[in-house]
Amino acid sequence: MTASRYIHIVGAGMAGLSAALQLSLAGEKVIVYEAAPFAGGRCRSFLDRELGCVIDNGNHLVLTGNAAIHDYLFLTNALETMGGPGAPIFPFMDMESGQRWVVRMNGGRFPSWIFNKNMRIPGTKPRDYLSALNILMAGSSDTVASRLDTKSALYRNFWAPLTIGALNTEPESASAKLLANIFVQSFAAGGRACIPLVPKVGLSETFVLPCLDLLTKRGVITRYSHRLGSVQMEANAVKELHFNQGVLEVGPKDWVILALPAWVVRDLLPTVTVPGVFRSILSGHYRVEVPSNPAGFTGLVGGAAEWVFTRNGVVSVTISCAERYESYPTRDMAIYIWQELAKLYDLDPVKVPPHRIFKEKYATFAATPEQDRRRPSAYTNWKNLALAGEWTATGLPSTIEGAIRSGLRASQVVMRWN
């Protein structure tokens, strides 16, 4: 390793932290710049003073098959901060019929669970699951809906919710190829790859604080409230980074990794093609004690929300593709969501407990075939600049797994040029 260069990472979300982790462990001198006064981006927890408790800024379902997440948590000594049922179980409720069921997968790759009607999805038969082959063999231009029988029970109760939840894009326009890549590292890999993992305390306590602690011990400098306004190029390389706090001169051996949102990179580097269509996510948090289940979450079908998580006296819901509720005032959405939760937990639908509703307008890029083709690689045309972010060409949709992968790839680009 050369000790005379610095790696400047702009952005302290999961992509930036992942890149900083890999490079610091490789002995590089790393400086991280973050526009906000905190790290973690869309993956963090915080004390909400209105509710009087710690909540996550979103819900993320992690599975044991997420290899990049596993490695990241292992390197940051954070594996023990994750809990879960210890088995591949997935509780569901149909909000229209009130029917409840639990999908219980066996551990091996051969899906023997689909031959047991008490373990598989209601209304389905073993042969229905062969539809997975249609997804696995999808081309880059295929959508999820175009590859499946949209009138089947398996589509309604599995494929459609999986697509909306994992890709944050409606099945009619979502990339079947991206869904296939998700499926390969989870359900297709068998039950041992599908054991749910949930942070015991919060997202920051699992994904952010342990990494920051390790980075500090490795000598990484993190500078908060540093917003990048422009990038100055010279001789096919980054020469200066113009922050609100001042101008940074990039040394001749230094590297820059931009781990920023796609629309920010588009403004900084107009010649780089990035996704230009995005989907929103709405999340709700209710301060109420409810009965828990071994999984720590429940999937909802036929309602507004896709997932409901319970932890430490807080019930949190996730609503993907939230554009469909744009016209709803926040107060109405809070009541609407609570009515579903009241049905799930057999509570009074009129007595809405203390709550917080958040909407992230540009939560993820639209995971369509067209937008997927617009995703750039970590490499750029500038000799000392790499890109990171879940919106880059990771082969996955906008997930924590994809963000961590992107940081790893950006670090590999840098380390390739010692």
pLDDT of 2 reads 45
The bridge status of strand 228-234 relative to strand 237-243 is antiparallel
Give me the count of residues in the chain. Answer: 418
- The DSSP string of 48-115 is ETTTTEEEESS---EETT-HHHHHHHHHTT-GGGEE--SS-EEEEEETTT--EEEEE--SSSS-GGGG
Q: Which residues pair with 104 in a beta bridge?
A: 89
What is the separation of C-alpha 62 from the centre of its chain, rounded to a whole number of angstroms?
9
Q: What is the pLDDT of residue 212?
A: 98
Tell me, what amino acid is at 149? Answer: D
Would you identify the CATH topology of the domain 46-84+196-202+278-365? Polyamine Oxidase; Chain A, domain 2 (3.90.660)
Query: In the prediction, which pLDDT does 4 show?
Result: 75
End-to-end CA distance of the chain: 7
> CA-to-CA distance for 100 and 113, rounded, in angstroms?
18
Instruction: Give Dmax (Cα) for the chain.
Output: 66
Quick one: pLDDT at residue 200? 92
At the top level of CATH, which class does the domain 6-37+224-276+368-416 belong to? alpha beta
Alpha helical stretches, state H, 159-310: 160-167, 176-184, 203, 209-217, 262-268
Extract the tokens encoding 287. Answer: 């301060």
Please give the chain's pLDDT, 418 residues, in tens: 444 799 999 999 999 999 999 999 999 999 999 999 999 998 999 999 989 999 998 888 899 999 999 999 999 999 999 999 999 999 999 999 999 999 999 999 999 999 999 999 999 999 999 999 999 999 999 999 999 999 999 999 999 999 999 999 999 999 999 999 999 999 999 999 999 999 999 999 999 999 999 999 999 999 999 999 999 999 999 999 999 999 999 999 999 999 999 999 999 999 999 999 999 999 999 999 998 888 899 999 999 999 999 988 999 999 999 998 888 888 889 999 999 999 999 999 999 999 999 999 999 999 999 999 999 999 999 999 999 999 999 999 999 999 999 999 999 999 987 6
89 backbone dihedrals φ, ψ, rounded to 5°: -120, 145
Please tell me whether residue 25 adopts helix, strand or coil conformation.
helix
List Cβ<8 Å contacts ≥24 apart for 373-379: 373/140, 374/273, 374/274, 374/275, 374/276, 375/274, 375/275, 376/272, 376/273, 376/274, 377/409, 378/406, 378/409, 378/410, 378/412, 378/413, 379/413
Taking alpha carbons only, the member of 76, 192, 144 closest to residue 372 is 144
Domain ranges of the chain: 6-37+224-276+368-416, 46-84+196-202+278-365, 125-189
Predicted local distance difference test score (pLDDT) of residue 293: 86
Beta bridge partners of 257: 9, 386
The amino acid at 77: N
Sign of the dihedral defined by the CA atoms of residues 76, 80, 82, 84, in that order: positive
pLDDT of the residue at 418: 66
| Closest to 63 in 3D by CA, of 247, 315, 330, 295 | 295
Measured CA to CA, the distance from residue 163 to residue 174 in angstroms comes to 7
CA distance 65 to 182: 10
Residue 301: beta bridge partners? 94
| Alpha-carbon torsion angle 39, 41, 43, 47, nearest 10 | 60
* CA torsion through residues 261, 414, 72, 92, sign: positive
What is the rounded distance in angstroms from the CA atom of residue 367 to the CA atom of residue 169? 6
Helices (H) and strands (E) in the chain, counts: 12, 20
